[in-house]
Amino acid sequence: MDLVALLAIQVLYAIASLALISVGLAIIFGMMRVINLAHGEFLMLGGYAAIVATSHGINIWLSMLVIAPIVVGIIGIIVERTIIRFLYGRMIDTMLATWGLSLFLVGLTTAIFGNTTVGISAPLGSIEIGAYRISTYTLFVIAVAIIVLALIFAVMRWTRLGLIARGTMQNANMAAALGVNPPRVYAVTFGIGAALSGLAARCWRRSPACSRPSASPMSRNPSLR
């Protein structure tokens, strides 16, 4: 039973990780019909933002849950205002533009930080499940994924912001006639999608932009050997 429980947690962790990684991409493509080939680079920027903030003495939780999403969200808004806004309805052009952006971001990050950087160890300790020990951070990632997905569903379904966003994406001209500013909605939506990528970057500890914990999340309890 211990092994079954452990495997169930690992499966939930894998699902939660994929959900966090893809939710920003899903918002940008699902609502805006923009294929963002720079999504991986947004994840990378979120990881580096958290690493830089932590290296300057900022609390790791603040760096991970606040600073990384805000930094990547601002970058996403800038990208939408300077590149994406001119390419709506041109899917191939947006793919080429975001692919070029991804190459630029990789080159710029490499020029600034080099090919390697010092990572951040996963916070929290570990808990025992019978004869096994599992990282508490694994459970934290699962909880974050559930909260993020629930908040997105609630905002899109039951709030005025969600109604405006959905209405603008479906019929921008009608939304503009009702007093909504579609370019602003587009920028905010793209920025939120990018911010969620920044959040996922640090939460997903196996991301190349982030460090792995010093101990495996699943190992035998030394006391039972």
How does pLDDT run across 69-81, given as a tens digit for each residue? 999 999 999 999 9
- Quick one: pLDDT band at residue 122, thresholds 50, 70, 90? low
Question: 135: which strand partners?
Answer: 126
Structure-block tokens of residue 207: 């991301």
Q: Do the Cβ atoms of 68 and 199 come closer than 8 Å?
A: yes
Q: What mean pLDDT comes out for the span 83-99?
A: 89
Q: What mean pLDDT comes out for the span 106-117?
A: 85
Strands (E), 95-161: 126-129, 132-135
The more confidently predicted of residues 187 and 132 is 187
**What was the pLDDT predicted at 217?**
40
Q: Is the pLDDT of residue 107 over 80?
A: yes
**What was the pLDDT predicted at 150?**
93
Q: Which residue has the tokens 């947006």?
A: 94
- Quick one: pLDDT band at residue 154, thresholds 50, 70, 90? very high
The more confidently predicted of residues 89 and 102 is 102
The more confidently predicted of residues 89 and 142 is 142
The more confidently predicted of residues 43 and 225 is 43
pLDDT, averaged across the chain: 81
% of the chain surpassing 90 pLDDT: 20
The more confidently predicted of residues 206 and 98 is 98
**What was the pLDDT predicted at 55?**
86
Q: Is the pLDDT of residue 155 over 50?
A: yes
**What was the pLDDT predicted at 131?**
73
Q: Which of 54-63, 178-187, 208-217 has the lowest mean pLDDT?
A: 208-217
Q: Is the pLDDT of residue 101 over 90?
A: yes
Map residue 180 onto helix, strand or coil. Answer: coil
Q: Is the pLDDT of residue 21 over 60?
A: yes
DSSP secondary structure code for residue 135 in this structure: E
Q: Is the pLDDT of residue 220 over 70?
A: no
The more confidently predicted of residues 23 and 4 is 23
Q: Which residue has the tokens 């211990």?
A: 2
Q: Compute the chain's Rg from CA coordinates.
A: 19
